[in-house]
Amino acid sequence: MLRGGRLSEADIPLEMDLLWAVANLIQCEEHLWSIIGDIRRELGDKKLERRACALLDEVRDLRAHLMKKLVPARKYELWCELKHSISQLYRIGEVASKFVSEGKWDDAVEMLACQKKALEIYVKSLLLSAEVEKKAGRGGKA
């Protein structure tokens, strides 16, 4: 086995798999917000709405649990900033995929370059987070 949980050279590191899992859970939360609103507006079914809210709570708990494996920050706004950084990586990739499906290759390549920059920002934020935790005496790790 290679380093970082990789099974082959083509495999992405474990941390990247975890990052994408968290990003997808964030997207699940967003979709559930919409579903809850739709249930309220269109169906008016309180029992169904509560079930959707309970599911949202489970997804949120799982996302927070997995984020703790990625993000040392517990102070200030760093936790939220990193959550949004993870989410933006996913969204920029979605935009790139849509451009590909429309045959807009130059736009897709531009979005993928933006996604690379967003990943660099995420890594810098993660390092800042670890430093803040270290200074706060919590022993954050990057």
> pLDDT by residue (tens digit) across 111-133?
999 999 999 999 998 888 888 88
Confidence of residue 14 (pLDDT cuts 50, 70, 90): confident
Over 90: is that where the pLDDT of 135 sits?
A: no
- Residue 33: how many CB atoms within 10 A of its CB? 13
Arithmetic mean of pLDDT over the chain: 87
Predicted TM-score (pTM) of the model is 0.76
Q: Residue 39: what pLDDT?
A: 96
Alpha carbon distance 124, 133 (integer Å): 14
3-state secondary structure of 139: coil
Q: Residue 139: what pLDDT?
A: 54
Q: Residue 142: what pLDDT?
A: 44
Q: With pLDDT > 90 as the criterion, what percentage of the chain qualifies?
A: 60
